[in-house]
Chains A and B, each alone.
Chain A
Amino acid sequence: MTSPHLSERALQEAAESASLLPAPQVAHLRGCLLCQGRVATYRHLLTAVAHLPQPTFSFDLTASVLAQLPQTRPAFPWVLSGVVALVLGVVVAFLALFGPLLAPVFQSLSTGLGAGLVAVAGFFVAGQCLELLARHRRQMRQLAFS
Chain B
Amino acid sequence: MSNLPTSPATDQQLVAQVLGGNTAAFGQIVQRTEGLVTQMLFKMIHHPADRPDIAQEVYLKVFKNLAGFKFQAKLSTWVGQITYNTCLHYLEKKQLVLVDLSEHKPDDSSEEGRSPPVSLVAGPGYDPETALFDQDLATILSTAIEQLPPLYRTLIALYHQQELSYEEIAQITSLPDGTVKNYLFRARKQLKQHLLASYQRDDL
B42→A4 contact, CB < 8 A: no
Number of A-B contacts (CB under 8 A): 134
B160→A50 contact, CB < 8 A: yes
A and B contact pairs by CB, cutoff 8 A, 21 listed:
A5-B113, A5-B115, A7-B110, A7-B112, A8-B108, A9-B109, A12-B188, A34-B118, A38-B122, A41-B121, A41-B126, A41-B128, A42-B192, A44-B122, A49-B161, A54-B39, A55-B39, A55-B42, A143-B22, A145-B24, A146-B24
A46→B113 contact, CB < 8 A: no
Residues of chain A within 8 A (CB-CB) of B138 are 48, 51-53
Chain B, residue nearest A6 (CB): B112
Does A144 interact with chain B (Cβ within 8 Å)?
Answer: yes
The secondary-structure label for the interface of chain B is helix
B30→A144 contact, CB < 8 A: no
The secondary-structure label for the interface of chain A is helix
A49→B23 contact, CB < 8 A: no
Once the chains are docked, how many angstroms separate the CA of A1 from the CA of B83?
50
Interface size class, chain B: 35 or more
B185→A12 contact, CB < 8 A: yes
A8 to chain B, nearest CB (A): 6
B38→A144 contact, CB < 8 A: no
Residues of chain A within 8 A (CB-CB) of B25 are 146
Once the chains are docked, how many angstroms separate the CA of A66 from the CA of B56?
9
Q: Which of B148-204 contact A (CB under 8 A)?
A: 156, 160-161, 163, 185, 188-189, 191-192, 195-196
Q: Which of A102-137 contact B (CB under 8 A)?
A: none
